[in-house]
Structure 1
């Protein structure tokens, strides 16, 4: 009986010895978001635009200020409106100041100017790289009467690699928003 147990034990050891075990690579979380469908934002504000139905828009503290929330991503785009009263340069400097306050943590700031003369819409789009609190900011203006700023923030610690899929998704939505922006 003891010989049979020893024989089975040795057989199991010989059979189990084979290839060396290899460590398995860490699995990466695959984040997939729905294909966006856009709807028109049209309120009493002096502007309209299209935004993703994956987001929800709600009024903020002041008149013509809004929060565009991507709840499943824990992200918010804060949209602010300022009427221009001979203070265009002040609003422009303030918008740029908001962007460049992040230079301490930003590894790069990509700036893209845009112009839609048919809608009288002009501005800059800023994408901030690195561990910044805000990943995307932009302003839209007609340079005479209206000035709108928007800032993207996540309700989490800034981890660029983890947030990259969500940032890319929201970036496309914001680019669509800008391209459909119109003044009333």
Structure 2
């Protein structure tokens, strides 16, 4: 009886899969976002910039802390303003601490400094590669009275390949924001 049962299962196993498995064609999700059109934002904290109409600005804590929200991408850029009161070095140190806390997960951190002396705008732009919680960060300052910092976060797990199109889109927006940043 036991031998018949084994031969029966063996027979089903050998002859039940007559069709060969075919590999599926490779396909990738194509994410396309609209061409950015920019609008001006004037902060009550003494600065202005242009941001994409694909995003919206939402107040967080007060008028000087807010999000630039990208609802379609489930992303937020947290923007914070601090007045400088003999603590400029502390603000820079805190911004760099926020960036370099990601060294555990980051495969690289690309830092670019920018200066627009005609507008009194200076700062650093950080691009973090790898499965980091924040992919883009920057700070803008006039180095005497004002300091603005921003960090990009997605409402999802950090998957660099999946998020790459959204990060590239927002990176262009943030670079435009910096290029149009002005103090009042």
TM norm structure 2: 0.87
Q: Which runs of 5+ in 2 are unaligned?
A: 1-19
Q: Assess if the C-alpha contact under 8 Å between 2:43 and 2:63 holds in 1.
A: no
User: After alignment, is 142-151 or 23-32 more displaced?
Assistant: 23-32
Paired position in structure 2 for 1:11: none
Q: CA deviation at 1:65?
A: 1.0
| CA distance, structure 1, for counterparts of residue 94 and residue 25 of structure 2 | 46
Whole-angstrom CA distance in 2 between matches of 1:21 and 1:86? 70
1:118 is matched with which residue? 118
Structure 1 residue 27: deviation in Å?
1.0
Secondary structure of the structure 1 residue equivalent to 2:107: strand
Cα offset, 1:26, TM superposition = 2.4
Alignment match, 1:104: 104
Deviation at 1:63, TM superposition (A): 3.5
What's the C-alpha RMSD, in Å, of the aligned pairs?
Answer: 1.2
SS in 1 for 2:28: coil
- Aligned match of 2:39: 39
Distance in 2 between the 1:89 and 1:119 partners? 21
Matched with 1:90 is 90
Shift of 1:22: 5.6
* Residues 44, 63 of structure 2: 8 Å contact kept: no
Tell me what 1:171 maps to. 171
- Is the Cα–Cα contact under 8 Å of residues 88 and 143 in structure 2 kept in the other structure? yes
Q: What residue in structure 2 maps to residue 128 of structure 1?
A: 128
For the Cα contact (< 8 Å) 2:131–2:158, is it kept in 1? yes
Structure 1 residues 83-137: Cα deviation after superposition (integer angstroms, max 9, x where no partner): 0001000000000000000001001000000011111000000000000000000
The residue matched to 2:132 in structure 1 has which SS?
coil
The number of equivalent residue pairs is: 165
> Which whole-Å CA distance do the structure 2 matches of 1:62 and 1:103 have between them?
31
Distance 1:148 1:48 in 2: 11
Q: How does 1:21-36 map to 2 (within 5 A)?
A: 23-36=23-36
- What residue ranges of structure 1 are gaps of 5+ in the alignment? 1-19
